[in-house]
Amino acid sequence: MWSETRVFLAFVAVFLAGCAQAPDLAVVARKIVTMDEKQPEAQVLLVRGGRIVAVGSREQLASSVKKARQMLDFGDAVVYPGFIDAHLHVASTGRALMELNLVGTRSLDEVLEKVREKAAELGPGEWLLGRGWDQNDWPVKRFPTRHDLDRVVPDRPVYLKRIDGHAGWANSEALRLAGITADTPDPEGGRIVRLPGTREPSGILVDNAMGLMSGVLPQEGPELVRKQILAAMDHFASLGLTCVHDAGVDSVDLAVYRDLVDAGQAKVRVYAMLSHGPILDDYFRSGPVLDYGNGMLTVRCVKLYADGALGSRGAALFEPYSDDPGNRGLLVTPPEEIEAVAERALRAGFQVATHAIGDRANHLVLDAYEKALAAVPTKDARLRVEHAQVLAPQDIPRFAKLGVIPSMQPTHATSDMPWAEDRLGPERVRGAYAWRSLLDTGVRIPGGSDSPVESANPLLGLYAAVTRQDLDGNPPGGWYPEQCVTIHEALRMFTIDAAYAAFQEDELGSLSPGKRADLTVLDRDLTGIPPGEIPNAKVLATVVGGRVTYRSR
């Protein structure tokens, strides 16, 4: 009896607090999935000042709904906490929307035809830039060469980034402008792929070798970056995203973000990770930026890279690639440098998020973090490993032991599964994309997309996490299905656990009184449909801080 009385009194307290003043907004729907264990479901949210003030049933909050200054009645739709993408690249996504997009091309000939068509649209001497090719999707699974591009565009520079952003493909004119010749040495942490039997560059630049092009590529000024970010934000809002973690920003990006927030034009919240470089000195002196523009911009994380990518065989492995004997991948940042930056970051109050894909890279990053935490004891550091894609069995429990967060992207598994075992072999692949193994140790896994490497659509991430299948339902039963997660666990990845990875679990990630009113509205209940229907769900509306940023027509 006493416990029932306490529950009733607690409800009355919340109800009175939420209704003492008329709410700015009432949100009504058939079902509201709160991701709050104390009250998993509701039908009404009351919002005031951009924050949730009450959550309950239609009966409980009927009088307050009538008093609300505005009402969003979504009828039979289902409302979720605003979806959060814990790892993507905002400006790069906008750039991909504006440049030549080669994602989904299925042959070298198809790529070359798109390049030929794009070249016809450009002015004389103008660079042809694009991204998204993937030789693993072609019948002949080899890297292309400059000669392939020269056949269709010999008279203007062409530079096309691979889908993962860890390799670039240049034609002969672009290599000439960059001064890359047979005498150019491989940079530390990078590789210039050579034509067979020669030292002549093939046109493929892997990881740090891509930096050899930076001096000649067209420079992106603030106005272009602004257009890219705005295009990306419109895109994200249409997909139901309310917050994104931007994995690598520079001073231009941050200036644009501040301007957009100040002008009220930012459609998603941004948790910014500072790129490794001179920008760190300024921020380590001044400290993190928290809650800028009513929580629209946060800067408290540093992004590092340990290795390359699996698709371009740049991921650092303990043993050679199964399909490329002698190649163990690339370490693009020395482990001792990762440790040193992590120590500086911890002292300055910053989180660190390090890209690590191969098992050797993940092991070395965990070692570096362990040393940094010993040197700078921090109660709640929440250091992150971005991707954590291929793990040695002995390293899986180390994440929980060290309090390190594996930030993972489910669609990487379903994109890579046709060839991942060729790269890794049947034993090593069992430690790849190991979501269930990690969850069973007690860690939280924030979910992301790595857009523009993969689609930013969180529904595809949820589907991949639950099924480990492609959109045609293959392979039957899922790829290494023992690593699948439940739909509730998948929703956590893109809501409350993504918020936790940014120290924002008290502000975002669930629909609870006191939290920001960020909502994603879908036409169906993801928890009550066959997993194969998840990608078919439609985003009806996106709401950030009580403001509608997207509504379907």
pLDDT 10s digits, 415-465: 999 999 999 999 999 999 999 999 999 999 999 999 999 999 999 999 999
pLDDT at 219: 87
In the predicted structure, residue 348 carries a pLDDT above the cut 60: yes
In the predicted structure, residue 14 carries a pLDDT above the cut 70: no
Query: Cα(369)–Cα(352) distance, rounded to whole angstroms?
Result: 9
Instruction: Kindly give the interhelix angle for 2-19 and 58-67, rounded to the nearest 10 degrees.
Output: 20
Mean local confidence (pLDDT), 234-261? 98
pLDDT tens track for 382-424: 999 999 999 999 999 999 999 999 999 999 999 999 999 999 9
Q: Report the percent of the chain where pLDDT is more than 90.
A: 94
Mean local confidence (pLDDT), 69-73? 97
Q: Quick one: tokens of 397?
A: 């429990």
pLDDT tens track for 313-347: 999 999 999 999 999 999 999 999 999 999 999 99
Collapsing DSSP to helix, strand or coil, 109 comes out as helix
Cβ burial, residue 106 (10 Å; 0-12/13-18/19+): exposed
Mean local confidence (pLDDT), 246-270? 98
**Rounded alpha-carbon distances, angstroms, from residue 384 to 186, 361, 406, 460, 500:** 30, 13, 6, 23, 11
Identify which of 537, 420, 522, 535 has the alpha carbon closest to the alpha carbon of residue 480.
420
Instruction: Please provide residue 384's backbone torsions phi and psi, each rounded to the nearest 5 degrees.
Output: -120, 145
Instruction: Kindly give the interhelix angle for 279-286 and 335-348, rounded to the nearest 10 degrees.
Output: 30
Residue 123 or 339, more confident: 339
Question: How many H-runs (helices) and E-runs (strands) does the chain carry?
Answer: 19, 22
Question: What global pTM score does this model have?
Answer: 0.90
Are 361 and 308 spatial neighbours (Cβ–Cβ below 8 Å)? no
- For residues 90, 270, 245, 550, the Cα torsion angle rounded to the nearest 10 degrees is -70
Instruction: Please provide residue 19's backbone torsions phi and psi, each rounded to the nearest 5 degrees.
Output: -110, 0
Average pLDDT, rounded, for the chain:
95
pLDDT at 242: 99
* Range list of H helices, 205-250: 222-238
Set out the domains of the chain in order of their start, with CATH numbers: 2-76 (2.30.40.10), 91-213 (3.10.310.70), 272-506 (3.20.20.140)
Are 201 and 175 spatial neighbours (Cβ–Cβ below 8 Å)? yes
Q: Quick one: tokens of 207?
A: 């990881």
Beta strand segments in 102-189, E: 128-133, 158-162, 167-170
In the predicted structure, residue 6 carries a pLDDT above the cut 90: no
For 275, half-sphere exposure in the C-beta direction (CA atoms, 13 angstrom radius) is: 10
Cβ burial, residue 459 (10 Å; 0-12/13-18/19+): buried
Q: Quick one: tokens of 524?
A: 């169906």
Task: Write the DSSP symbol of residue 510.
Answer: S
Collapsing DSSP to helix, strand or coil, 101 comes out as strand
pLDDT tens track for 156-188: 999 999 988 999 999 999 999 999 999 999 999
In the predicted structure, residue 509 carries a pLDDT above the cut 60: yes
For 113, half-sphere exposure in the C-beta direction (CA atoms, 13 angstrom radius) is: 6
pLDDT range class, residue 140, cuts 50, 70, 90: confident
> Locate tokens 């709410």: which residue?
23
SS3 content of the chain, % helix, strand, coil (to 5): 40, 25, 40
pLDDT at 10: 43
Q: DSSP labels for 350-416?
A: -EEEEEE-SHHHHHHHHHHHHHHHHHS--TT---EEEE--B--GGGTTHHHHHT-EEEB-HHHHHHH
pLDDT range class, residue 20, cuts 50, 70, 90: low
